Structure 1
């Protein structure tokens, strides 16, 4: 079955009036068998379909050669929706072409404009160009010639005589200038070494006279100061002391000789200023005041220290400390009196049984380990204290906080030790601790000894002593010092605080 193209089998026109194409059946010879395809035949084409998809009238071939006069209705494109036209249409005033996004060229290499190259542009016109120039060829490399020797230069006639003469003149000029410069330098710059220099010394002054107040004090006191050396099995200690009597009595600290007192096998020696070593014995010692007295024998005419008074010391007064810090005997340091009546507690340790509270003189003269027991001397070369303790810094050295026992408090104790070998102290029969709060400041009573002076004076537990024998009390150490320095058997006034009220009373210390 063929689609009608407007003609029949023999060229007969089978189209319908109006130019509509129809399907026509070919006439088959009679009695001829025709194989029928195994698929169904096409249904007839409707007139409307033939009108839209059929060939126009008068067209027989596949393509139209003349404008068609097809009068069939054509598809009509409706106007776009106004909202869509505003959203997707071109803006007013733009051309009819699509505008490229300004960022569309990001990352693309732009071609540089090229000149009008006739070899690349076949449409370019013919023009004259510069003629070709011949390329100069480089000269072939040559091997270096042989180097000239001295014989070639002088005897080989390779260099002219005028050139040789010029070189000789230049060499002479260089030698002449160098010689002149060397001569001038030798005359201007002095030599570093010489054998004509002799160092002079000024011998006009009197070298024997002391040239400072400290030197004068040191000269007056140094011969009375001794170093103390204690050696025991596996241990030793050093300290200082000073002679207080021509009989050979020497005053020092108890903690300096505690090892010798507790170990009978220990060796105790005293070293004088002339390095003479003499064995010493302990006369007596007092752990509660950290004082001890030694005695040496067979020492002729020892230099005795001059004792002064510590009662009239002034803050800022110059003092000199003598001793053997860290075993360095005959050491002198100077400073001032920083404070007086400073209560300082000395606690026992592995090497000493000292358990005392001293009413100390504070000084910034350096007092280091080994200074203990040495004299603290005023500007008149008189002993005003016994060097006892010092606050040490992180590295172990003095930080300007040294403490000495006042000589006025040491005298009666030393006399008792020399006389009796022991000493008794005043006590009132209480134990105290420091208290500091918004209500009261002083020494709080923790317990009272039954039948003691404090109980007889009406003192109770938790009372706070704020004054004793006219001395303000702000800590337990200050009360201990005030009681110890009081005279045994003599009544003294005191003040205490109880339940928000202050009371006055009297108490009579007794011997311990």
Structure 2
């Protein structure tokens, strides 16, 4: 059953005027000036004999818009190679057919087998080179090494021959230390008292100095001073090399230093560091010797170990600024244990003064105030509490009493018993010093004391 024709809307008036039939014609009218023709002509290229009946040219022909065109999307491409949204081709393994997969695996196995076979064959047939080659000479170069003056290497070459290793044997026991040649002509060597004290006046004891060239010589004790931990020994050996000794005030904190000695029995060992502090009061005592000293030490971070005792602490010019004597140890000992970066040396001025006295007389003298003290503090001020005053001592003569707290000597602050001993020891017997003290918690007062020989 045919559908009814939809109503047709009249064309616009301009279209009707242009194409309406004229002179009783029906259908679509000719354009103005046009004429029908049997064929297409230049004057009427669009008109055929049946053009008037062509519904596409008839403005009154029924027409309407249908539904928009529909496009059926192509289904996802089939096959193992896929194209993503960015146009990249990817292989989807799930779509690979079994025969293709089998062929690929067999191909890989074939290539692997072929490679392995070739490797085995070439390894079997290759000619091996001889294991040993006669007259072999390896390459070598001679680079220019610069050892500038003042370098550690330069200092070690200068001072090394003047530093000796000291071996002490008493019965079946032995010990080692170090020493510094200070008088090449007479064979005098400075070392620490605690290095040689165990062999003094002991029958059968032996002291031997071993030099940088490996030669050795028996040594005798010239003198030793337990109050400063300095001793001097003497060898009978020609051709010695003496060290250069520095002077007071030649070193400041931060100066580079080199320690040379025989730590742990390893002769000729060189370590380096800096001066990390000056005038550090350090108490030395015991350790199998009669050493009982408080020194105003040079502190250094150059590694120092047992056996360095008596060796040289040298500045950048190669001059000896101190005699290594102790190390700080977590075990609380100043002469045993291992280096933890805190070593102490007796300033060369002190060592020189004591050594000159020992070489001249065999003994050394020290100034004394005549008190025994211990370190105290009240939280605001430190000092040395007098616990005993020796009868007839300079302290008694000056009116110093027990329980007084000494806080300065000649204007130099005293914050501990060690600092008091260092301050007094820096003076000479017969010197008069001003002692500032506090009594019964009151204000400070000053007294004069004339020091005597300890």
CA distance in 2, matches of 1:224, 1:457: 47
Contact 1:467 1:496 in 2 (8 A): yes
In structure 2, the CA distance between the partners of 1:362 and 1:192, relative to structure 1 (3 Å rule), is farther
**Partner of residue 214, structure 2:** 275
Q: How does 1:313-352 map to 2 (within 5 A)?
A: 313-349=251-287, 351-352=288-289
CA deviation string 1:335-355 (max 9, x = no partner):
110101111111123x21111
2:183 pairs with 245, 258, 265, which one?
245
2:180 and 2:311 in contact (8 A); partners too = yes
Partner in structure 2 of residue 371 of structure 1 = 308
Q: In 2 relative to 1, CA 182–343 (structure 1 residues): closer, same or farther, beyond 3 Å?
A: same
Structure 1 unaligned runs (5+)? 1-172
Contact 1:368–1:392 (Cα < 8 Å) also in 2: no
The answer to whether the Cα contact below 8 Å between 1:306 and 1:382 also exists between their aligned partners in 2 is: yes
1:434 maps onto 2:382 in alignment: no
d(CA) in 2 for partners of 1:240, 1:369: 10
Q: Secondary structure at the match of 1:353?
A: coil
| Cα distance change of structure 1 residues 211 and 244 upon mapping to structure 2, 3 Å threshold | closer
The residue number in structure 2 matching 1:144 is: none
Checking the alignment, whether the CA contact within 8 Å between 1:288 and 1:354 is kept in structure 2 is yes
Offset of 1:310 from its aligned partner? 4.4
1:176-255 to structure 2, matched below 5 A, reads 177=114, 181-182=118-119, 199-205=138-144, 209=147, 213-246=151-184, 247-255=186-194
Contact residue 232 and residue 359 of structure 2 kept, 8 A: yes
- Which residue does the alignment assign to 2:435? 494
| Larger relative contact order, structure 1 or 2 (CA cutoff 8 Å, min sep 6) | 2
Note the aligned Cα RMSD (angstroms): 2.9
Q: Name 1:479's counterpart in structure 2.
A: 420
Larger radius of gyration: 1
CA spacing shift, 1:269–1:184, aligned 2, 3 Å: same
Query: Which structure has more strand as a fraction of its residues?
Result: 2
Q: Deviations over 1:472-500 (max 9, x none)?
A: 11110110111111121121222111122
Do residues 354 (structure 1) and 296 (structure 2) align?
Answer: no
Displacement of 1:505: 2.5
Aligned residue among 182, 187, 195 for 1:256: 195
Displacement after TM superposition at 1:362 (Å): 0.5
Q: Indicate conservation of the 8 Å contact 2:434/2:448, yes or no.
A: yes
The residue that corresponds to 1:160 in the other structure is: none
Distance across 1 between alignment mates of 2:206 and 2:450: 43
The answer to whether the 8 A contact 2:300-2:343 is kept is: yes
Tell me how far apart the structure 1 counterparts of residues 411 and 272 of structure 2 sit (CA, whole Å): 33
Given the two structures, how large is their TM-score scaled by the length of structure 1? 0.61
Deviations 1:239-285 (A, max 9, x none): 00010002100000000001111423211111011111100000000
Shift of 1:180: 8.6
* CA displacement at 1:449 relative to structure 2: 1.9
Give the 3 Å change call, closer, same or farther, for CA 175–212 of structure 1 in structure 2: same
Q: Secondary structure at the match of 1:455?
A: helix
Alpha carbons of 1:467 and 1:185: their partners in 2 closer, same or farther (altered >3 Å)?
farther
Question: Who is 1:42 aligned against?
Answer: none
Which stretches in structure 2 are left out of the alignment for 5+ residues?
1-109
Distance of aligned partners of 1:310 and 1:367 in 2 relative to their CA distance in 1, 3 Å threshold: farther
Contact 1:311 1:408 in 2 (8 A): no
Aligned match of 2:329:
392
Post-superposition shift, 1:424? 1.1
Q: Which moved more, 1:362-371 or 1:451-460?
A: 451-460
Matching of residue 308 in structure 1 with residue 308 in structure 2: no
Residue matched to 2:447: 505
Per the alignment, in what secondary structure is the counterpart of residue 408 of structure 1? helix
Offset of residue 375 of structure 1: 0.6
SS in 2 for 1:399: coil
| Most deviating of 409-418 and 219-228 | 409-418
TM-aligned CA distance change 1:475 to 1:182, over 3 Å: same
Secondary structure in 2 matching 1:392: coil
Rounded Cα–Cα distance in structure 2 between residues aligned with 1:430 and 1:192:
86
Aligned match of 1:451 in 392, 396, 420?
A: 392
The Cα offsets for residues 72-127 of structure 1, whole Å up to 9 and x where unpaired, read as xxxxxxxxxxxxxxxxxxxxxxxxxxxxxxxxxxxxxxxxxxxxxxxxxxxxxxxx
Q: What is the deviation of 1:406?
A: 0.3
Check whether the contact 1:428–1:510 (CA below 8 A) recurs between aligned residues. yes
Q: Deviation of residue 442 (structure 1)?
A: 0.4
Contact 1:310 1:385 in 2 (8 A): no
Aligned to 2:56: none
Rate the CA distance shift 1:441–1:192 in 2: closer, same or farther, 3 A: farther
- 1:169-221 residue CA offsets vs partner (Å, 9 max, x unmatched): xxxx99995699449988xx9x99997996422214258x5697110100100
The answer to whether structure 1 residue 407 and structure 2 residue 348 are counterparts is yes
| 1:252–1:373 Cα contact (<8 Å) kept | yes
Question: Does the 8 A contact of 1:391 with 1:399 survive in 2?
Answer: yes
